Chains A and B, each alone.
Chain A
């Protein structure tokens, strides 16, 4: 470990960390925006879900590197390529949780809302979705954490991220660089995870705290 490498390269390290954070977080957020309507439809019309789930299982089996490569003709060796690929992966973990979250709302709660005069849309927005928040955020957490970790693979097609430190560190046989990359990816992922746990607490003030 060569500690002096860190201060003399902090600008590079900071830039790579920002790029990695962008590549990990943005796809999960886009994934959430797409997953909500898909999940709501799948929870409402049950026949729609099994085919969606099959597609999700197959897509999730595609290796990230293969998906990055498949998108090269359309998007080139760009950030957009990695963002789109990781968005697709985040859909695979978020959609099932949106469906599970909505299905976990007890029927009695739904009926009580209806009896109070709530229409289907208002009931969805003010009763069902808020109650599904913990499960939905559970999926978002997996999406963000694995997205940040997978973003480093984008370096193999030349999209800059903390993965640069792995590849450069290997080529120069310089472990310090690899340590820094590993620690930053893990810290970044866990930091985003903590933020999401905090968001969940703010959004579900009624939840029982231990």
Chain B
């Protein structure tokens, strides 16, 4: 049997849709575990990225540091925090925030730093204060890139919340980790397929968001990241 037939057989069993630890419950839990760290990361990374990008200094350093950040293995970080803190909310929250900050930070920083100097000059020439320049000119122009950063982070977080089931977190990863432990490929494949579907939905959500939020004048020159 192939991956998809295993996954499909398991997902379509009515018993998996009711009671504690059912598919809808774990799906909601997974969304919650993903949304909270993403929001925290955005609150940290968008203002600091905009600040660094606006000043222009230190932008390269931030980008290099964020790339080196990829080397940190999430599984190791999760496990280390369990040993340090035990099973507290911080144990799963911290690694997910740590993962989600760099893509948002780098893209905000690059987006704001990459604003055409002529546009900047025009904004200053119109008498805008530094705040107005950032909020009304630079951030809207950087928005397509910021959304790409948020999308990357959202996908990292959804994926890593799966691994976090290994340290006892709920969510779709539960099916995978418990299935692996009991040698049952059905829930393992089903859980994996649900995570993939969730990740693709996140992609679609961000495609919709960028269509809604990006000013009409900037469409058609979206950069991919």
| Chain A interface residues (CB < 8 Å from chain B) | 53, 57-58, 60-66, 69-73, 96, 141-142, 145-146, 148-150, 152-153, 155-157, 162-163, 166-167, 169-170, 173-175, 178-179, 181-182, 185-186, 189-190, 193
A69 and B72 contact, CB distance less than 8 A: no
A189 to B68, CA, bound (A): 9
| Selected contact of B224 from candidates A96, A149, A170, CB within 8 Å | A96
In-complex Cβ contact of A62 among B71, B160, B196 (8 A) = B196
How long is the Cα–Cα vector from A162 to B68 in the complex, in angstroms? Answer: 19
Count B-side interface residues using an 8 Å CB cutoff. 43
Q: Is the interface of A mostly helix, strand, loop or mixed?
A: helix
Query: CA separation between A190 and B68, bound complex, in Å?
Result: 7
Chain B residues with CB under 8 A of A60: 155
Chain B CB within 10 Å — which of A73, A141, A169, A189 has the most? A73
> How many pairs of A and B residues are in contact by the CB < 8 Å rule?
135
Cβ-defined contact, A156 with B166, below 8 A: yes
Least CB distance from B193 to A in Å reads 8
Cβ of B112: which chain A residues have Cβ within 8 Å of it? none
Q: Are A185 and B73 in contact (CB under 8 A)?
A: yes
A156 to B78: give the CA distance in the assembly, Å: 13
Inter-subunit contact A178/B76 (CB<8 Å): yes
Q: Which of B6, B192, B200 contacts A65 (CB 8 A)?
A: B192
In addition to A65-B192, A182-B72, 10 A-B residue pairs with Cβ atoms within 8 Å of each other are A61-B159, A63-B159, A63-B199, A65-B162, A70-B193, A96-B224, A156-B163, A163-B75, A170-B82, A186-B72
Q: Is the CB of A63 within 8 A of B76?
A: no
The answer to whether A73 and B3 touch across the interface, beta carbons within 8 angstroms, is yes
A-facing mask of B153-176, CB < 8 A → 1, else 0?
A: 001001110110011000001001
A190–B202 CA distance with the chains assembled, in angstroms: 31
Residues of A within 8 Å of B93, CB to CB, are none
| A182 and B76 contact, CB distance less than 8 A | yes
Contacts of B68 in A (CB 8 A): 145, 190, 193
Residue of B nearest to A163 (CB): B75
A167 touches B71 (CB 8 A): no
By a CB distance below 8 angstroms, the chain A residues around B8 are: none
Contact of B180 among A63, A152, A156, A186 (CB under 8 A): A156
The answer to whether B6 touches A63 (Cβ under 8 A) is no
Contacts of A181 in B (CB 8 A): 73, 76
Residues of chain A lying within 8 A (CB to CB) of residue B162: 63, 65-66
Contacts A61-B155, A61-B200, A149-B73: A69 and B188 contacting too (C-beta < 8 A)? Answer: yes
Given the complex of chains A and B, what is the CA–CA distance between A53 and B80 in angstroms?
Answer: 36
The reply to whether A169 and B70 contact each other, CB–CB distance below 8 Å, is: no
Of A58, A145, A185, the residue contacting B76 (CB under 8 A) is A185
In the complex where A65-B162, A65-B176 touch, is A152 in contact with B192 (Cβ < 8 A)? no
B72 touches A63 (CB 8 A): no
- A/B interface sample: 17 pairs, CB < 8 A: A60-B155, A61-B155, A61-B203, A63-B196, A63-B199, A66-B159, A66-B176, A66-B196, A69-B192, A152-B76, A156-B163, A156-B166, A163-B73, A175-B83, A178-B76, A189-B71, A193-B71
In the complex, are the beta carbons of A170 and B73 less than 8 A apart? Answer: no
CB of B79 within 8 A of chain A? Answer: yes
Q: Is the CB of B163 within 8 A of A145?
A: no
**Residue pair A64, B167 in contact (C-beta under 8 Å):** no
